[in-house]
């Protein structure tokens, strides 16, 4: 029975999704041994990758791995003085996982209405929505950069932009907007730069963080394409 359930579950996964998980998990485990990375970094990376690929698939179960990833990643970021990243994960992402479960379950898609195993209905952002997003980013990034400067944090400008964009993307995510992925792509690019600079400057060995965010970037491009497809295929636009 368990084998049949697992086979049925994996049948919902595309070749790309299976390959993505295998390749990046393999790289993460290799780096763990090759660079004597931290066990916490390994756990955070794998949990994060499972979380984002499940989001791309529209699965509510993504939030379970999100809870693990936000707690562990926040601790790692704090250790490197990336206070913006740490506060974002502990004070915002962590509680948002529970809010996300609640909101996605309110709009849970019946199995017979599902196109490719997704659990929720997808929404699209209009022009007014984009204007609000851009305005919120401009103001938020400026204000938060000043806060991080007072805290004597590292990489203030990049960190502040990444954090504010992450907040916006997470809000769009729990509200089920496909455009969340455009914001996540920007977040991933900024955060990859943030961690590369931090590792080089501090001599740290948590390179799994760079791999994790690179995996997130690849997944974000795929997630955007998949959610656009789901939005076109679904019978009910909003529910």
pLDDT of residue 9: 54
76 in a structural domain: yes
238 in a structural domain: no
- Asked whether the predicted pLDDT for residue 5 surpasses 70, the reply is no
92 in a structural domain: yes
Distance set, CA 31 to CA 24, 34, 37, 46, 87 (Å)? 11, 5, 7, 12, 26
* Cα(176)–Cα(230) distance, integer angstroms: 11
pLDDT of residue 49: 87
25 within 8 A of 49, measured Cβ to Cβ: yes
Percent of the chain residues past pLDDT 70, beyond the cut: 93
67 in a structural domain: yes
Output 116 or 73, whichever has higher pLDDT: 73
Mean pLDDT in residue range 95-115: 87
* Cα(187)–Cα(181) distance, integer angstroms: 9
Nearest CA-CA partner of 120 in 190, 194, 180, 163: 180
- Asked whether the predicted pLDDT for residue 91 surpasses 80, the reply is yes
Q: How would residue 16 be classed by pLDDT, with cut points 50, 70 and 90?
A: confident
Q: Where are the alpha helices (DSSP H) in the chain?
A: 2-10, 15-34, 39-56, 62-79, 83-87, 94-106, 127-150, 156-174, 180-202, 208-233
- Asked whether the predicted pLDDT for residue 236 surpasses 60, the reply is no
Q: Half-sphere exposure of 130 toward its Cβ, with a 13 Å CA cutoff?
A: 7
Q: List the domain range (segments joined by +) for residue 38.
A: 17-108+117-233
Cα dihedral 75, 99, 159, 127, rounded to 10, equals: 170
- Asked whether the predicted pLDDT for residue 2 surpasses 80, the reply is no
Task: Please count the structural domains in the chain.
Answer: 1
10 in a structural domain: no
Mean pLDDT in residue range 33-50: 86
* Cα(161)–Cα(165) distance, integer angstroms: 6
153 in a structural domain: yes
* Cα(69)–Cα(58) distance, integer angstroms: 18
1 in a structural domain: no
7 in a structural domain: no
- Asked whether the predicted pLDDT for residue 239 surpasses 50, the reply is no
pLDDT of residue 92: 92
Read off the pLDDT of residues 137-162 as tens digits, 9 standing for 90 and up. Answer: 999 999 988 888 888 777 788 778 88
CB count in 10 Å sphere of residue 152: 9
Mean pLDDT in residue range 116-136: 91
Q: How would residue 10 be classed by pLDDT, with cut points 50, 70 and 90?
A: low
175 within 8 A of 63, measured Cβ to Cβ: no
Read off the pLDDT of residues 183-211 as tens digits, 9 standing for 90 and up. Answer: 999 999 988 988 888 888 887 777 778 88
CB count in 10 Å sphere of residue 117: 16
């Amino acid at each position: 029975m368990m084998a049949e359930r697992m086979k049925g579950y994996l049948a919902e996964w595309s070749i790309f999704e299976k390959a993505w998980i295998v390749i990046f998990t393999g790289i993460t485990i290799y780096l763990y041994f090759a660079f004597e990375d931290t066990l916490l970094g390994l756990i955070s990376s794998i949990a994060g990758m499972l979380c984002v690929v499940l989001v791309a698939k529209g699965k509510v179960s993504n939030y379970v791995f999100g809870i693990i990833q936000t707690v562990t990643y926040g601790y790692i970021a704090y250790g490197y003085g990336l206070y913006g990243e740490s506060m974002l994960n502990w004070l915002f992402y962590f509680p948002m996982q529970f809010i996300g479960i609640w909101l996605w379950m309110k709009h849970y898609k019946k199995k017979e209405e599902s196109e490719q195993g997704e659990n929720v209905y997808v929404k699209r952002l209009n022009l007014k929505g984009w204007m609000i997003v851009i305005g919120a980013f401009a103001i938020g990034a400026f204000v938060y950069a000043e806060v991080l400067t007072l805290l004597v944090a590292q990489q203030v400008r990049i960190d502040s932009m990444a954090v504010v964009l992450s907040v916006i993307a997470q809000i769009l995510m729990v509200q089920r907007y496909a455009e969340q992925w455009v914001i996540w792509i920007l977040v991933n690019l900024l955060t990859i730069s943030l961690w590369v600079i931090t590792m080089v400057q501090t001599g740290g060995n948590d390179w799994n963080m760079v791999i994790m965010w690179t995996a997130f970037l690849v997944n974000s491009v795929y997630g955007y394409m998949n959610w656009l497809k789901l939005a076109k295929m679904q019978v009910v636009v909003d529910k």
